[in-house]
Amino acid sequence: GKTGPYGCSLAGCGTRVERSVERIYGGNIAVEGEWPWQASLQLNGIHRCGATLIGDIWLLTAAHCFRGYLITYSLYPSYIYFDIAVVQLAYPIQFTAAVHRICLPEASYIFPENITCFVTGYGALRDEGPSVGELRQTEVKIIGNEICNRWNVYNGAISAGMLCAGYLEGGSDACQGDSGGPLVTPDSRGIWYLVGIVSWGEECAKPNKPGVYTRVTYYREWIAAPWKPKTFGLYIYIHMMHIAPLFWSVLVSEQAWCLYWRGSHPVLLKEMTTHRD
């Protein structure tokens, strides 16, 4: 099929309603359909994390979003270094103009420093603040790992599987509750690609402390692994990094996780109860 400059198939991915985006933290409210791949992962009706639709039953999010809700394995990765998880839905989503998937870049593609990206989420507008009810967006720039590893920034903490985005002077950033959400950028034709997954940072929009994201190209081959969807009822399965490349885990405790797409009004697409495997 037709491919884009980042190497991804363009079969129905990465298109959206065109809107102007102003300069989450320092951002403005998105309108319905503006970011059609953005999801809200909610536990008992409360927003916990963002996620990104990459297929009709697959979403990408941050592994740390499920800390405390997963069956414990004897060998488990550090969340900060493998902060990526794939969520499998119980049933496929029907794509519409307002709900569809983002494009994934090829593993070999290098997003250049200082390109403009956008981060979206339902998270706090200030450090330690509450999550907000509306999807918000803000503009950030990619900052090279060499700069981000300077002693006065993150002092060597940024690994090859991470990338930084924001402004060294501060002002625009993701914040609490945005975790797991997308960092995206368009190509010259307006096709949107997933650059990163909101992972961590020191406070929000603080000078010399840009947001840190899971680098999607670093995990691209793992994301594209030939998974066979699990067969189950109304459950949510989490696919995470492990020392053996692939394994499945089931959310534990009898609690309800819900997946929402939210524009001007919440729309419940899937409700997933959890069980002990």
In single-letter form, the type of residue at position 133 comes to G
As given in the structure block, the two tokens for residue 120 are 């979206």
Residues in the chain: 277
Residue 156 is classified by DSSP as: T
Phi, psi of 66 (to 5 degrees): -105, 15
Distance CA 242, CA 78 (A): 9
Distance CA 194, CA 37 (A): 10
Considering the candidates 40, 131, 172, 179, report the single residue annotated as catalytic: 179
Q: State which H helix or E strand residue 226 sits in.
A: none
Considering the candidates 40, 47, 83, 131, report the single residue annotated as catalytic: 83
In single-letter form, the type of residue at position 260 comes to Y
Considering the candidates 47, 64, 100, 239, report the single residue annotated as catalytic: 64
Distance CA 235, CA 96 (A): 24
By three-state DSSP, how is residue 73 classified? coil
CA distances from 254 to 71, 87, 250 (A): 13, 18, 12
Based on the residue annotation, tell me whether 187 is a catalytic residue of this protein: no
Based on the residue annotation, tell me whether 64 is a catalytic residue of this protein: yes
Based on the residue annotation, tell me whether 83 is a catalytic residue of this protein: yes
In single-letter form, the type of residue at position 221 comes to E
Residues with catalytic annotation?
64, 83, 179
